[in-house]
Chains A and B, each alone.
Chain A
Amino acid sequence: MTRYLQIWLASARYSIVRTMMFRFDFFLWALVELCWMGVNLLMISVIYEHTQSIAGWSKYEMLLLVGTSLLVQRFLMGFFWSSLFELGRNIRSGYFDFFLAQPGNILFMASTRKLDPDGLLNSFVAMGVVAYAAHRLGLHPSALDLALYALMIFCGLVIHYSMLVISISVAFWITSAQGIEGIYFTLAEFSRLPREAFKGLASLAFVWLLPVVVVSNAPAHTLLHGFQPRWAFALLAAALLWLGAAVTVFHLGLRRYTSASS
C-alpha cells in the first residue's frame, strides 16, 4: 500500500514538474475546463429565465446538483483522464507493452501515470458553485453532512472512473474504435439531471442499470435534505459493483492484448 502511494506521489511530482514546463498549456486547459463548466451553468440560468422549476427543483437546487456533478467530473479529469485517454491510444499503438513490464498492478500503473493540475484547480471552482448554491438556499449542513457529502463524491468518482475504464477497455476488442471515450461523456450528461425527471424506461436505464443519475443526486440530496440511508447505500453498492465490473472487463481485455507494434 505504502509502495503504491510512493509510486503515485512520484507520478504526481512528475506531472507537476511537466505542467511547470508547459505553463501556457496549463492556463489554456484550465480555461477550457472553466469555459465548459460555464456552458453548463449558463444553460441552467437560461432555462430558469423561462420556467420556475425542473422536476420540482428550483434554480439554486439545480445549480447545486450541476455543481456536484461537475465536481465529480473535475476530480476524474484531474486524477485519471489523461492516463486513461492515453491507455486507449497505447492499446491501439502497442505502447501499452511499457505498462506490462512495470512492477505493479497494471490497471493502477496505467490509471495514475499522469495528473492534470488544471482539472484539480477547476474542482475548486466547482466547489465554489456548490457553496454559492448552498448559500443562496440558506443551507447550513453539519460537519457530519459535509463528511457524508465528501464520501459520496468519492463513491461517485469510483463509479465515473469505472465507467471510463470500461469504455476505454473496448479498445482491447475493437482496436479501430477511436473516440470511444465519447461514450462516457454522453452518459455523464445524464448526471446533471434530477432523479425525479426520469420516468419509466429512462428511470430503469439511467437510475438503476447505469448509476449516472445517483452519482450526483445522492450527494446533492444529502446537502439539501440531510442524510438518507437509502441513497447512501445505493451509491456505495453501485461503486463497489462498478469497480468490480471495471477490473473484470479490463483483465478480460488484457488477455486479448497482442501488442500491435514491434
Chain B
Amino acid sequence: MFSALSKYQHAFLIGLQSNLVYRWNFAVRGFFSMFHLAVVFILWGAAYAGVPAIGGFSFGQTLTYFLVMLVLQFFVGAFNEDYQISEEIRNGLINQFLLKPINYFLYRFSIFLAARLVTGTLILLPLLVTLPLLRDYLTLPAELWRIPLGLTAMVLSALIQFSIAYCFGMLTFWFLEIQGFVILSMAIESILGGQMFPLDLLPGWLYRLAQFLPFYYQTYFPAAIFTGRISSLAVVGQGLVIQLGWVLVLLALNQLLWTRGLRRHTAVGG
C-alpha cells in the first residue's frame, strides 16, 4: 500500500519541480488574470450603476464571486492536462507506462495536484498586491459550515476538472487533433460553469437544468458555497450528492476510454 503510494509521491515531486520551471509562465498568466478582473469590475460596476442589487446580490458580493472563481480556477482548474496527455499518446510516451506497474490515471493526477499547488500559490501573489484596492468591496458570508463543505466541494471539483481533461486527452486514440474539442468545451464551460456571470442570474428553468450538468460542479458550486450564492444547507447537501455522482460517472468514463483506446493504440515511437 505504502510502496504504491510512494510511486505517486515521486510523480508528485517531479511534477512540482517541472511546474516550478514554468513559474514565470504561470506568474504572467496570474498577472493577466488581474486584467480579467478589471474587465469584470468595469462591466459589472457600470451594470450596477443605479441598481442596488442584481439577482438579489450587491456589487460587492458579485465582485467577491468573480474573485473566488478566479482563485478556484488556479487551485482546481485543469489548464493544459488534456494537451499533455494527448501529446504523450501521440508521441508514444505512454508506451513506457504500459510495461510498468504504474496506473496512468494516478500518475497524471499526481502531476495535476503538483501543478495546482504551484499555480494556486502563484495566483495569491498578484492577489495580495490588488487586495488593498479590492478590500472595501469584498463581502463573504459569516456561516462557518461553508468552509468545510466548500473545501469538500473544491476537492470533488478538482476531480471533475481533471477527469474531463483526461477524457479529452483520451480522444487522441480516435482523433489526431483534440484542440477543437477542447476549445469548444471551454466555451460551454465558460457559460454553464459560471465564468461569464453567476449562474443564478440565468432564467429559472435553465439554472435548474445547469444544476444537473457536470459544468456546474467544475468551479461554480464551491464558489457559490463560499460566497453565499447558495443559501440553504439542504441545497448544498443535494449538490454534493450530484457532484459525487458526476465524479463516479467521469471516473468510469475515464476507465472505459482508456481500455477501449488502448485496443486502437499502435504504440508508435516512445
Contacts and interface: CB of A to CB of B under 8 A. Distances in A.
Given A32-B183, A54-B47, A176 B25 contact: yes
Given A43-B196, A46-B201, A202-B38, A178 B32 contact: no
A185 to B, nearest CB: 9
B8 interface: no
30 contacts: A32-B187, A38-B187, A43-B197, A46-B197, A46-B201, A47-B43, A47-B201, A50-B47, A50-B54, A54-B47, A55-B46, A176-B22, A177-B25, A178-B25, A179-B29, A180-B28, A182-B29, A182-B32, A187-B35, A189-B35, A189-B39, A190-B35, A190-B42, A193-B39, A193-B46, A194-B46, A196-B46, A197-B43, A197-B45, A198-B42
Contact of A31 (B46, B49, B184, B191): B184
B44 to A, nearest CB: 8
A46 to B, nearest CB: 5
Contacts of A32: 180, 183-184, 187
A186 B36 contact: yes
Given A46-B197, A50-B47, A194-B46, 11 more contacts: A28-B180, A35-B188, A47-B43, A50-B55, A182-B29, A186-B35, A189-B35, A189-B39, A193-B42, A196-B46, A198-B42
Interface of A: 25, 28-29, 31-32, 35-36, 38-39, 42-43, 46-47, 49-51, 53-55, 174, 176-180, 182-183, 186-187, 189-190, 193-194, 196-198, 202
A54 to B, nearest CB: 5
A167 B203 CA distance: 39
A51 B35 contact: no
B92 to A, nearest CB: 20
Q: How large is the interface on B (under 10, 10 to 19, 20 to 34, 35 or more residues)?
A: 35 or more
Nearest to A37: B187
Nearest to B181: A28
A167 to B, nearest CB: 11
The interface residues of chain B, by DSSP majority, are classed as: helix
Contact of B201 (A36, A49, A193, A196): A49
Interface string B26-69: 00110010011011001101111111001100000000000000
Nearest to B38: A202
B257 interface: no
B177 interface: yes
B134 interface: no
Contacts of A176: 22, 24-25
Contact of B54 (A51, A194, A197): A51
A42 B36 CA distance: 18
A51 B190 contact: no
A194 B39 CA distance: 11
Interface string B109-128: 00000000000000000000
Nearest to A170: B28
B8 to A, nearest CB: 26
B184 A35 contact: yes
A35 B147 CA distance: 35
Contacts of A202: 38, 42
Contacts of A193: 39, 42-43, 46
B180 A29 contact: yes
A86 B28 CA distance: 21
A47 B201 CA distance: 8
Contacts of B244: none
Given A51-B54, A186-B32, A190-B39, A36 B47 contact: no
A25 B187 contact: no
A144 B25 CA distance: 47
A25 B46 CA distance: 39
CB-based closest 7 A-B pairs = A35-B187, A197-B46, A28-B180, A55-B46, A50-B54, A43-B196, A186-B32
A42 B177 contact: no
B51 A39 contact: no
Contact of A189 (B36, B46, B183, B197): B36
A182 B30 CA distance: 11
A82 to B, nearest CB: 12
Contacts of B24: 174, 176
B202 interface: yes
